[in-house]
Structure 1
Amino acid sequence: MDDSSNDLSKMIKSKTTISLKANQHYKPLFFRASDKDEKQALLHLIGSEPSLVIYDTLEQQLQELVKCRFPAFVPTPENMQKAVSDILNGTPAEDYGVWVYYPWSKKLVHLTDEDEFIEIRTSRNKQKITTPELQTLLKKKIGIIGLSVGQSVALTVAMERICGELRIADFDTLELTNVNRIRTGLHNLGLPKIVIAAREIAEIDPFLKVVCYTSGITEDNIDSFLTENGKLDLLIEECDSLDIKVLSRQRAKAHQVPVIMDTNDRGMVDIERYDLTPDYPIFHGLLKNIDYNGLKNLDTKQKIPFLLQLISVNTASKRSRVSLIELGSSIGNFPQLASSVVLGGAVATDVARRILLNQLHISGRFHIDLDAMIADEQPVDHLYRPKTFEPLRLDDMLSIAAAVPADAGDAVQPSFETLKKIVTDAGLAPSSGNDQPWRFLYKDGRVLLFHDISRSYSFGDYRNMAAYTSLGSAIENFVLSAQQSGLGVSTTLFPLKDNQQLIASLTFADANHKDVESNEFTGLADYLDKRCTNRKVTQRQAISLPDLDKLSKMVPWFSGANLQWVTDVHQLTQVGKIISAVDRMRLMHPHGHYDFFHREMRWSDKEAMEKRNGMDVHTLELPPEALIALNIMKDPEVIKTVREIDGAQALRSASLPHAATSSAIGLLSMPSYTPADFVIGGRIAQRLWLQSTEMNIAFQPLIAPLYLFPRIIFGNGEDLPPYMIDELQILRQQFLQIFPGSNERGEVFLFRIFKAADVEKRSLRLKLEDILHVV
């Protein structure tokens, strides 16, 4: 670097430091030349300030004053000159009115004095604001907390002149990212927002009294802000801090000061009339049992659920909901647009004026939603609607059953109570999305198990393999429960080779019959109603080799099944990244999004009880802020926009905590990608799960990769956009490095095991009459 560059750097640094330290003025200086001492001070200023710029338009202002007072006056050069002379009444023009000096810009402006200035400046408000109304407003005091959105409000209040005193509070300084919505010049970067706002107001109306709280609002000064030198007539709260939002309302309520807030999204305005209804709940009761003291000690993450509850996420605009998902990922702060902020300034000022004039008395939340008011007549419906199937009917099952060869004639007929228990236990089996795709038809000692595709058809169930896994688990439960009841079961898979709706023929027999299944694992029947999915994230605990061996022995060698374990923390993390990436793809895909949010999830206790299938959202074990984000993402309009911006990148790490804290992750595979192998694999997977339950080891399926990998392995990327195919190809190679094997195998089940407390909530099951048919 040469010497000139060094000199330039030093000079810039010196001048910048001086500028930031000295340039904090926000109050103009007044000089009335009719006063001898003030005239001398004015002369001294003019003579001593070489950078001074003088603006003297007094004659034009007086001509406007004439027109304001005499609207019917038809001016000519002669009669206008006389009218102006009458106002001056012999006073030299340079001594008339007031000279206003703005130290920060070195500008000296000649104005009429206060009364005439206000008369001229507000003349075009008439008769939207009458003269008596103006006189009422000039006595009012308004406070504004927060000067991002609040700056627009403050400037609009000042321009409309709906108060005589304006108190403003903000502690922050201007950054370049603020200039997308704060009206100011770039030379003000680094200055306090409150200084910028106060200067702008002074340059609009130097007579408007502006009181600045440069440290913002705190516990120590909130009462002063509300009451010192006269109680506020209205508080306009526009700050970012949830703590201060609540504190300011608590104290405003105590002092019976009404509060309004504009949220610059869908034109949302809150009005809280503590002056008229002193017991009105803060924020309309949206934050139940939460006050300032309950909030101030929470960290930012802990406050998020309350903030989202406050802004009523479900009523927010689509783009705002997208932004909530993207916070901390593609954006660092919640976005605000100048158009919305300026609209908010207008709306807040309009509401404030009507409250101050006793023309508006209500409390509540209101929207001035331009997107809804000015919109195309037919909004686009982006909800994906997949192919549908008719539910499997009893007549259909009977027709299929008629083609099944008769049994040997030595079937045992259990009591009806025993049959109900066995089928109920079978119905406790796990299934993809808890879709429970089974139907059982009982006749003469034999149960036929059918696949009801209307329950299981989904994006993740490629070629029905997820359903076959679930049906295999149901068979395992059926056999274990029958054995526990003292019965034997003879199982035949796909007894009609040309009809894969009929999954199995399950014939009851004597426990000692030569053709019944081995009762080696009958003891696992004790855990059928205890087995559940555990999605908790806990501190990682290593698993012992004996425990892994005990679980591995659940996989029969003769079945051709293979169980691979991963216990290395680095590899566990890698698996978590793969799972997260594939999960994100599933949610971004229209069909996958529909399945998860509209087919699988149950968003309320009432919905869960009524449908008794799918997953109660609370079983996901998510923190409140994640549940809210999930609720936002279920809107197809939101997810469409997220897809367009390649958003929701945070989902790429969603499963990392689960995987990285696992004791082990296992992959169960079968020799081939066939229905029979997946049914058998489902039985083995259920056996593993029940054994884990007996060992008090928590268990969670992590099967998203097994849903989508088959589409690129066996389906040439069927129904996938090219970018997803490309990403899946990469993820597939990473997966095979962790779980080596052939692409031709049937990857049935991917799961994690770990130590954790029991779950608090489980998904419900269909009623027995919905799955069992007896003829």
Structure 2
Amino acid sequence: MDTGDRLGKRLLEARYECEAWRPQLFRLSVSEDRRSLSKLLDEMPGMQVYDALEEQLIDLIRTRNPSERISDLAARERVRLYLGETAPDEYGVWVYYPWAVRLVHLLDEAEFIELRTNRNKYKLTPEEQARLARKRVGVVGLSVGQTVATTMALERSVGEIRLADFDRLDLSNLNRIRSSVHNLGVSKVLITARDIAEIDPFLKVVLYPVGVHDDNLSAFLLRGGKLDVLIDECDSIDIKLKLRVTARLHKIPVLMETSDRSLIDVERFDLEPTRPIFHGLVGNIEPERIANLSTEEKIPYVLKIIGEGTMSSRMVTSMIEIESTIKTWPQLGSCVVYGGGAAADIVRRMNLGQMNYSGRFIADIENIVPNDPPSGADMPLDVHVPEWTAEGMERAADRWSHGRPAALAWAPELARELVEVAARAPSGGNTQPWRWLLRGGRLFLFHERARSESLADFRALGGVAALGAAAESLRLAAHARGLELSQLAFPSADEPDLAAVFERLPAAGPGAVSHWHDELAAALGVRHTNRKTSARVPFDPAHQDALRTAAGSVAGAQLLFVSGEAELAEIAELVGIGDQQRIIDDRLNREMFREVRWTPEEAEVTRDGIYIDSLELSAADRAGLSMCRRRDALVLLRTLGGGRGLRKSAAKAIASASAVGLLTMPRVSADDFFRGGQALQRMWLVAHGLGLAIYPMTTLAYMFLRARHGGEGLSEAAVAALAEARPRFTRLFPVQPEQAEVLLFRVSQAEAPTLQSLRRTVEQILHVSG
């Protein structure tokens, strides 16, 4: 027998295989199935056998225990226990794909679906997944339609798929249909059905290999249960019209995606049973009038359906060339895949009752990501407007100074030098909530409340602590220059945001500020927040005593530490709870990210906030933080009661800590927080001299403070979480209810930070009055 005869015989034998599309299922625990499979193995000696059941069971066990880290060895042992007395080959189901002569061992239906859809959570909730499993979707036309169908199969966002197309695969189809050359000449519905079966052999698929026509259109829409959505991707305009007429009669919604500019057309005949077909764009055209038109003759109708104004310039050009230099309208694989995915997404949302209206939408990727940059790409940043103006500060200063004796004059240049050093003081989120005024021989420090007031900072007291730290820095800088100062904190009840007034003194005396450790002035320009992590080093008792002494030099200040491994693990969990609430709550989230600067240019323009690179994040953590800006995504997280993963950054940060400290003052008042800020600056400067890295983690303490005072602005969930966490916190740090918790911070030893936060210029924060 020559080669041609042998090929002819083989083609005749393979004819049945070419038409097969349903996989055969064998369960070896059933004796009849065991016999049938044994017979099949005898008849098909070249069959390929794939058995990865153990890997599937390991995957199943790990997904059911997401919080555990299960080693490969432990996982195999769990598989052995899970199978019990059942032999591995009798567990699950053996699936035979006759068109590929391939036998695959799989988990049986329930476990297969559970594992295969596990990664859908929580983009789809379990309830949504169950609802979608009852939905029926029909797809007419399997170019774009193939991608829609297989995408729905991938997501398992449908329970039954009906496929209709009369066409077979041509070589010219392979620029946009994902298939193989061995499928040339095979029915497109068979190819798509096989693709789905190889993804999921349990998914119900019904085929109409001759397409839809007058005799079977109603059956396609209704037989076996009415379709929930009809997807029209066919090329025939008369069939498009007939589909819509019949779908409208039976109140079935229709979706169409054109793949040019991804025009998506939704007609909700289920909600609007009298809605005009194609939104009334084609009038009352009878399908029979256009059934036998040539491609070129259909163009005017296509333009009515799609709209010339919505077409891409290249498609318009192509339309002109149809049946001249090209046979029909072109389609690109990238556009078909993009549009098919978009269509599958919209169908899913329609079936979940989330998208309940008709309309036309253009999801043009070239418009979303244009070839040329948008004209507004370099728009200036929205810089925060200060609360205090120069005129307002002058009026407040004049009111306070009225009737007081003249003060010793300051040289403006000296004031600039001191304020520039003071502005290096720490502030929550690097908000720098200060404005300074030199007027009449006095230096006034104002609280720029607009910069510090937020839901995470109760009564802007964190900003007040920053003012205290700035005042301490000014003291040290002045003493380093041989100056004597007096300081009055909150000198006027009528001006609560006038935080302090400084005067030069001719000599030391009873009214002069303390000279406590003036040598710390050398560290003012280099003290910084250090968020780098390293291996944990035990907390040196001598260092602990030095920090306590520094903080305690301010009357009423007290410093508490936890340093045991269990205690640090507990405080990490509590700080993580605070982080979780701050990120998941909409207003807290907005305020948090208002402080973040994402580019060097943004950081340079504002010269405040936290530049992202200074957070010392890994690439994964940085990406995670960026995703946390998506407040729309956090809505679902709140609904699910989720967000535990948001606690991980605190655990990582505290894993390297030698200790976590809490600085307290006797009362919750502006004066105590101001003096607490002085204490924290002294403690921090001493820590810097000892080579210790300080990283504030104060949000939790300030949220506790708000929750303890009624929780105004916080969500019920946040208040409840904080109330539950508070007793755990006070067991670690036994503070009294009336005490102020000024600073919660990590102490560690680490390399120098990558960079330090920028500060606003002296010209921005100091006004020298004439």
Same fold, judged at TM 0.5 (above) = yes
Say which of 371, 392, 399 aligns to 2:395: 399
Aligned twin of 1:746: 740
Q: Is the 8 A contact 1:428 1:529 kept in 2?
A: yes
Alignment of 1:718-757 (within 5 A): 718-757=712-751
Report what 2:547 is aligned to: 551
Whole-angstrom CA distance in 2 between matches of 1:660 and 1:446: 47
Structure 1 residues 23 and 759, CA, compared in 2 at 3 Å: closer, same or farther? Answer: farther
The CA deviation string for residues 646-672 of structure 1, in whole angstroms up to 9 with x for no partner, is 232201232012123200111000000
Match of 1:667, SS state, is: strand
CA distance in 2, matches of 1:411, 1:587: 48
Query: What corresponds to 2:605 in structure 1?
Result: 610
Distance 1:507 1:534, change over 3 A: same
d(CA) in 1 for partners of 2:152, 2:163: 15
Give the structure 1 partner of residue 473 of structure 2: 477
Summarize the Cα distance change of 1:497–1:758 in structure 2 as closer, same or farther, 3 Å threshold.
Answer: same
Question: Are 1:472 and 1:678, in contact at CA under 8 Å, matched by a contact in 2?
Answer: yes
2:695 corresponds, among 691, 700, 705, to 700
User: How far apart are 1:639 and its partner, in Å?
Assistant: 2.2
Greater shift, 14-23 or 413-422, is seen at 14-23
| Distance across 2 between alignment mates of 1:432 and 1:579 | 16
Question: Is residue 458–residue 591 contact of structure 1 (8 Å, CA) maintained in 2?
Answer: no
Matched, 1:359 2:330: yes
Q: Which whole-Å CA distance do the structure 1 matches of 2:40 and 2:328 have between them?
A: 38
AA paired with 2:632? E
The equivalent residue for 2:415 is 419
Q: How does 1:17-56 map to 2 (within 5 A)?
A: none
TM-score under structure 2 normalisation? Answer: 0.56
Which of the numbers 159, 170, 186 marks the counterpart of 1:163? Answer: 170
- Aligned 8 A contact 1:28 1:103 in 2: no
Shift of 1:448: 0.7
Aligned pairs for 1:611-650 within 5 A:
611-650=606-645
Superposition pairs of residues 215-614 of structure 1, within 5 angstroms: 359-360=330-331, 368=339, 369=342, 391-405=387-401, 411-510=407-506, 512-556=508-552, 559-597=555-593, 599-614=594-609
1:713-745 Cα distance to aligned partner (Å, 9 max, x none): 2x2222223222222111110000000021110
> 1:166-216, CA deviations, whole angstroms, 9 ceiling, x for partnerless residues?
4399xxxxxxxxxxxx97999x8xxx649999x9999979xxxxxxxxxxx
Structure 2 distance, partners of 1:365, 1:547, is 66
Measured after TM superposition, the shift of residue 530 of structure 1 is 1.1
The CA distance in 1 between the partners of 2:655 and 2:441, in whole Å, is: 48
Aligned to 1:296: none
Matched position secondary structure for 2:473: helix
Q: Percent identity?
A: 26
Q: Secondary structure at the match of 1:12?
A: coil
Q: One-letter code of the match for 1:749?
A: L
- 1-side partners of 2:43 and 2:613: how far apart? 53
Pairwise CA RMSD: 4.8
Name the SS of the counterpart of 1:726 in structure 2. helix
Question: Aligned-pair distance for 1:553?
Answer: 1.1
Q: Does 1:670 align with 2:665?
A: yes
Counterpart contact for 2:458–2:702, Cα < 8 Å: yes
1:432–1:467 CA contact under 8 A, matched in 2: yes
Which range is displaced more, 514-523 or 464-473? 514-523
When normalised by structure 1's length, the TM-score is: 0.56
Q: Shift of residue 636 of structure 1?
A: 2.5
Alignment partner of 1:563: what SS?
A: strand
Question: 5+ residue gaps in structure 1?
Answer: 1-9, 30-99, 106-123, 130-143, 170-181, 206-265, 272-350, 380-387
Q: Is the 8 A contact 1:555 1:561 kept in 2?
A: yes
SS at match of 1:665: strand
Please report how far the alpha carbon of residue 364 of structure 1 lies from its aligned counterpart in structure 2 after TM superposition. 8.3
1:485, distance to aligned residue in structure 2 (A):
1.5
Q: Which one-letter code corresponds to 2:640 in the other structure?
A: I
Question: What residue number does 1:285 align with?
Answer: none
Q: What secondary structure does 2:641 align onto?
A: coil
What is residue 765 of structure 2 aligned with on the other side? 771
Please tell me whether the aligned partners of residues 597 and 609 of structure 2 are also in contact (alpha carbons under 8 angstroms).
yes
Deviation at 1:633, TM superposition (A): 2.0
8 Å CA contact 2:536–2:748 kept in 1: the answer is yes
- Shift of the alpha carbon at 1:528? 1.4
Deviation string 1:274-321 (CA, Å, 9 cap, x unpaired) is xxxxxxxxxxxxxxxxxxxxxxxxxxxxxxxxxxxxxxxxxxxxxxxx
Structure-2 residue corresponding to 1:46: none
Q: How far apart, in 1, do the equivalents of 2:403 and 2:652 lie?
A: 51
- Residues 204-248 of structure 1, C-alpha deviation per residue, up to 9 Å, x if partnerless? 79xxxxxxxxxxxxxxxxxxxxxxxxxxxxxxxxxxxxxxxxxxx
1:558: how far off? 6.1
In 2, Cα distance between equivalents of 1:507 and 1:23: 100
Distance 2:200 2:327 in 1: 24
Aligned counterpart, 1:12: 29
- 1:126-174 Cα distance to aligned partner (Å, 9 max, x none): 9x99xxxxxxxxxxxxxx999948999x9989974333694399xxxxx
| Aligned-partner Cα distance in 2 for 1:161–1:666 | 73
2:10 is aligned to none
Aligned to 1:559, the other structure's residue is in SS state: coil
